[in-house]
Every structure is written in structure tokens, then in C-alpha cells.
Amino acid sequence: MKNSLKIGICFGITSGIITTLGLMIGLESGTSSRAVVLGGIFTIAVADAFSDALGIHVSEEAQKGNTSKAVWESTIATFLAKFLFALTFTIPVIFLSLGTAMIAGIAWGLTVLCILTYITSKAENEKPWWPIFEHLLTAVVVITITHFTGDLISKYLG
């Protein structure tokens, strides 16, 4: 796979997992509203996918030696990976109770994060266990902080 596509796909999926889970968990704990959580997911899928794609675009332009084609490949791959992956979190929210959907979303996101980390570590001939631990820890910290942030917002501003 071309490096430009790998950069965009890996970044888009990872960002899709972390930001979507954080938003979902925070909105659910703050509102307990399926409509609000779905609205948040759709917003992340569009606005944050464009934002991440532009961020990758500018970052890739700033690196010496990248062709215009490679920059655009990374940009488009980031957008599509983030947009499409973020939308996968709507499935449990639509079909399950909201509490169960949060558990399913966390399980889905963390599983994909582990698989992606394992694949990228192996491709770089690295042992995957430490990167998997780091990435899971980061995700759990985000989930925990956004959950308590939602609780605080609900308690003091709701």
C-alpha cells in the first residue's frame, strides 16, 4: 500500500475511534439522549473528518519531498477513513438501548484500535504489545474523562 494512503487511513481510523468515542460517551453521560448522541456522531463524521483531512493536508505539504499527488491521497484517505469509520458507531446507537450501545461502541472502537495497532506494528517489524497498551490506555483515558465531563456538565449546567 502506498505510504500516503497508509498515513491517511491509519490517522483517519484512529482519530475516528478516539474522537467519536469521546464525544459519544460525553454526550450520553451528559444528556442520556439517543438523538443528541446520533447528532454528535454525524457532526464528528462530517466536521472532524474535514478538519482532520485539512490537518493531514497541511502537514504533508510541510514535509519536504511529498508530491502534490501524495498530499491529496493522504488528504482524501484521511477524510474517507474518518467519515466512514465514525459512521459505524451509529449502528449500535440506532439498534440497541443507549447504555448497551455505549458498551458496544467502546468494544468496537477498542477492538479496531488493537487490530490496527497490531497490523501497523507488525508492518514495522516491532513488537505490538507496548503500542497496543499505549493506544488502549489513551483511549480509556479519553473515555473516562469525557464520561465525567458529561456528568459534570449535566449536574452543574443541565
**Domain spans of the chain, in order of start:** 3-157
- Tell me: pLDDT of 158 over 80: no
Tell me the pLDDT band of 1, cut-offs 50, 70 and 90: confident
- Under 8 Å between Cβ of 90 and 41: yes
Tell me the pLDDT band of 55, cut-offs 50, 70 and 90: very high
Termini Cα distance of the chain: 48
pLDDT digits over 92-133, tens only? 999 999 999 999 999 999 999 999 999 999 999 999 999 999
Cell of 36: 443528541
User: In Å, what is the CA distance from 93 to each residue of 37, 54, 96, 103, 146?
Assistant: 8, 28, 6, 10, 18
The pLDDT value given to residue 56: 96
